A and B are shown apart, each in its own frame.
Chain A
Amino acid sequence: MKKISFIVFLLFFSIGKAAIIQVGANFPVKKIKQALAVAKDGDTILVHSGIYKEGTILINKKIYFIGKNFPVLDGQNKKEVLSINANDVVVKGFKVINSGHAALNDPCGIRVYDKNNVTIQGNILDNNFFGIYLQNSTNCIVKNNVIKAYGKAEQLIGNGIHCWKSNNLQIIGNKITGHRDGIYFEFVTQSVIWRNIANNNIRYGLHFMFSNDDAYITNVFKNNGAGVAVMFTKNVKMFNNYFEENWGDSAYGLLLKEIADSYIFNNRFARNTSGIYMEGTSRIKVEKNSFESNGWGMKIQASCMENEIVNNNFLKNTFDISTNGSLVLNTFNANYWDKYEGYDLDKDGMGDVPYHPLSLFAVLTENTPSAMLLYRSFMITLLDKSEKVLPSITPDNFVDNKPLMKSLPL
C-alpha cells in the first residue's frame, strides 16, 4: 500500500516538474529570451504585461507561451517578431506588433516553421507585414486572434493568416482587417476555416489556391478589394458564409476558377458587383443561397459545365445571371427569381412557364460595357421584353424549367 502511494506521489511530482517561469518587470526573469534559454520541454512561460523589444523571439522547445494582460512583443519594424520552431507549442494572449516589412524573407508577426500541433490562440496582431504564417505545418490551430494591418497597396503588405503546404489546420474565429489577403491558403488540405471575419482587406478576404478537401463555414467576408477567390481546387465545401459589399471592376463576392466537385450551400451574397463569378468550374452544386441586391447575381462563363444551380433566391439583383457565350452546359432548377412573370395554375408552387434568367441586356453589356448607360430606358425594356418572347441572341436552353413562385425562407 505504501509503495503504491509512493508511486502515485512520484507521478504527481513528475507532472508538477513542469515549471512555470514568470517574466516581467517585477520578477527575477526580466527578458523573454532569458526565460526561453532556461526553459525545458513542457514548461510554461508566463509573460506579464509590459513592452518587450527583443528582436526575433525564437521558440525551439515544446512550451506553453502565455501572455497575461496582453504583453506587447514589439518587432520595431525590423524583424520577424515570434518564430515557432518546435512541436506542440501554445502561444496565447500576446500583442504582437510592428514586424519588419520586407519582400524577400516575408517577416511575420508569428510564424510556424514545419511543425505540428501548434496552437496560436487569442492574440492581437497589429501592424505586421504578414500576420500569422503557417509553413509546412500539420494539426495546427489558429483561434480567436485579432489581426490588423494598415496596408496601402497590394505589394506593400502581406496576408493576415498565410498557410502554405500544410494540412489538418483549424482557422477559427479570427478577425482580419487591412492585410493583402485576409486568409491565404496554398497547398493546404483537409482544413477548416470557421467563424472568421475578414473585412477591408486590400485584395481578397479569402484566397484559396491548390487546396483540396477543405471547408469554410460561417465566415463573413465584407468590403474586401476583390471578395473571395477559390482557384485550382477540388472538393471545397462552402457553407453559411456571408459575402458582402465587394465593389468594383473585377470584384466578386466569390470568384471560382478551375474548381471541381464542390458544394456551395446556404451562403448569402449581398450588394456585390458580382455575387459569384465562375470560370472553368465543373460539377459544382450551388444550393439554397441567397443573392440579394448584387449588380450581377452570378456570372457563369461558357467554360463551366455540369454545374447545378438549385433552390436559390435571386432578389433585387440588377442582372440575375450573365454569361459570355452561347454554350450552356449547366442546369438551373427550382430557383426563385423576383423578375419572373409567369403563373402557377396547378398551384404546385412551381411556375408553369419556364423562366429565362439571362436578359438580352446582360448579354449586350457583357460585350459593350458602356451600354450600361442605357439600362432601364424604355428602348432597352422593349428590346428585353421581345427577346424574352422570342429568344434570338440569348441561348434558349439557358432556362429554369421549374421556377419557384415564392421565395425560399433562407
Chain B
Amino acid sequence: MNRIIKIILSDIIRNKIVLAYTLILSILSWSSFALEDNSSKGLLTILNVILFTVPLVSILFATIYLYNSAEFIELLLSQPIKRKKIWLSLFFGLSTAMVFAFFIGAGIPLLVNSPDSIGFMMLLNGCLISVIFVALAFLSSILTRDKAKGIGLAIMIWLYFALLFDGMVLFLLFQLAEYPIENMMVGITAFSPIDLARIQILLHLDVSAMMGYTGAIFKDFFGTSVGLMVSFVLLSLWAIVPFFISMRKFNKKDL
C-alpha cells in the first residue's frame, strides 16, 4: 500500500498542478498578511480561501485525476492487490497531496502571522476541508463512467456547498424569522461541511459579536468542548461517509 501511495504522490508532484496551487496559495497568504500591520485582512483572505478555493481545487483536481488514472487503476487491478487497498491508497495519496499543499501554502503563513487559537483553528479546518472534498471527488467520479458528467457533478457539489446551501439557509431564515428556529439552525449547519468549518472559525475570529444575541446560542453549542468535539466528528464523518460509499461501489464495480 505504501508503495502505491508513493507512486501516486510522485505522479502528483510530476503533474505540477498541485505545486502551482501551493505556490498561488502561499503568494496570496503572505501578501495579504504583509498588506497591513494587523493580521485581520490576512485572516479574512485565508478564511475565504478555505471556504472557496480549497474545496474547488480539491474536488476538481481529485475528480480529474481519478478519471485520468483510470488506465493506471485497471493496470493495478490486474495485479494481485485487493481493490480496497488500491482505492484507499489513491485516497491517501490525493488527500496527503492536498493537505500538504494547503499546509505549506496557507498554513505556514498562518502559523507565523497568527500563532493563536484563530490560526490553529483555520489550519485544522482547512486541512479537514481538503480531505472532505477529496472524498466527495471519489464519490462523484465513481458514480458515473462519463468523464464530463463526473466533472460536472463535482462542480455541482462544490457549487451547492459553497453557494446554494447558504442561499437556502438564508431563505429559510427569513421565511421562518417569526419562529424560534435558532436551535434548528444549529442542526442545519451539520448538513454542510463548509458551514461547519466557517462557524468554527467564526467563533474564534468574531468572538465579541458571537458572544451577543443568538451568537450566544451558537457559542453555547459550538463554543463548548462537547460542541467542538461534535462538530469535528461531523466534519470527519463528511470525509469518511462519502469515501466509504465510493469504496463499496468501487468494490462491486465492473470495470
A contact set with B: CB distance below 8 Å: 247-251, 271-274, 293-296, 315-319, 338, 365, 367-381
Contact = CB atoms under 8 A, between A and B. Distances in A.
Contacts of A273: 208-209, 211-212
Please classify the interface of chain A as helix (H, G, I), strand (E, B), loop, or mixed, using the class held by over half of its residues.
loop
B142 to A, nearest CB: 28
Contacts of B7: none
Nearest to B181: A370
Interface residues of B, number: 42
B199 to A, nearest CB: 7
A374 B214 CA distance: 12
Contacts of A367: 177
Contacts of A318: 206, 208-209
Interface string B195-221: 100110010011111111111111000
Contacts of A315: 38, 40
Nearest to B213: A369
B195 A377 contact: yes
A249 B213 contact: yes
Contact of B208 (A293, A370, A375, A377): A293
Interface of B: 36, 38, 40-41, 44, 47-48, 51-52, 162-163, 166-167, 169-170, 173-174, 177, 181-182, 185-186, 189, 194-195, 198-199, 202, 205-218
Contacts of A295: 206, 208-212, 215
A294 B218 contact: no
A371 B170 contact: yes
B40 A377 contact: no
Contacts of A249: 212-213, 216
Please classify the interface of chain B as helix (H, G, I), strand (E, B), loop, or mixed, using the class held by over half of its residues.
helix
B141 to A, nearest CB: 25
B58 to A, nearest CB: 16
A370 B195 contact: no
29 contacts: A248-B212, A249-B212, A249-B213, A271-B207, A272-B208, A295-B206, A295-B209, A295-B211, A315-B38, A318-B208, A318-B209, A338-B41, A365-B213, A368-B173, A370-B177, A370-B217, A371-B170, A371-B173, A371-B174, A372-B210, A373-B186, A373-B214, A374-B170, A375-B202, A376-B198, A376-B206, A378-B48, A379-B163, A379-B166
Nearest to B182: A370
A84 B214 CA distance: 48
A378 B208 contact: no
Given A272-B208, A273-B209, A380-B170, 19 more contacts: A247-B211, A248-B216, A271-B207, A274-B212, A295-B215, A296-B209, A367-B177, A368-B177, A370-B173, A370-B185, A371-B174, A372-B209, A372-B213, A373-B218, A375-B202, A376-B206, A378-B166, A380-B166, A381-B48
B40 A316 contact: yes
With most chain A CB atoms within 10 A of its CB, the pick from B48, B208, B210, B217 is B208
Closest 6 CB pairs of A and B: A295-B209, A273-B212, A318-B209, A379-B166, A295-B208, A369-B213
A376 B216 contact: no
A294 B177 CA distance: 26
A170 B75 CA distance: 88
A73 B234 CA distance: 59
